[in-house]
């Protein structure tokens, strides 16, 4: 008789890693975001995007006719850098308020 034991924790970890890899592959397939996708990716409203980083000269964007496009890879890199800088400012502001 053959008995098979499965470590549920290990199986869950393998499954989650595969899901992450699949999501990353899907994200890399998209070359440009439109405004709707930018809002989804940042979980921010259009007004917040414009207020916080849209007008930053380093923010990658271009306009074709009346529609804005954002290079996905460059936007991701910019947003991570922007968020890291924003967190530092938030921490400083929070300490100053105390």
Q: What is the pLDDT of residues 56-97, one digit of tens each?
A: 999 999 999 999 999 998 999 999 999 888 765 555 555 554
Q: What is the pLDDT of residues 7-46, one digit of tens each?
A: 888 888 888 888 888 877 776 677 899 999 999 999 999 9
* Rg of the chain taking only CA atoms, in angstroms: 20
End-to-end Cα separation, the chain, in angstroms = 68
pLDDT at residue number 70: 96
pLDDT at residue number 28: 67
User: What are the residues whose beta carbons fall under 8 Å from the beta carbon of 39, sequence distance 6 or more?
Assistant: 45, 46, 49
Give this prediction's pTM: 0.60
* Residue 48 confidence class, pLDDT cut points 50, 70, 90: very high
Residue 70: count other Cβ atoms within 10 Å of its Cβ: 22
Q: How far apart, in whole angstroms, are the C-alpha atoms of residue 75 and residue 42?
A: 10
State whether the Cα torsion 29-74-90-49 is positive or negative: negative
């Amino acid at each position: 008789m053959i008995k098979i034991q499965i470590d549920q924790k290990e199986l869950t970890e393998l499954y989650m890693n595969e899901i992450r890899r699949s999501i990353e592959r899907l994200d890399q397939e998209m070359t440009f975001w439109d405004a709707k996708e930018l809002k989804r990716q940042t979980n921010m409203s259009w007004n917040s995007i414009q207020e916080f980083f849209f007008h930053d000269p380093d923010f990658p964007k271009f306009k074709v006719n009346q529609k804005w496009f954002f290079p996905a890879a460059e936007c991701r890199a910019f947003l991570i850098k922007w968020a890291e800088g924003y967190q530092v400012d938030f921490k400083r502001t929070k300490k100053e308020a105390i």
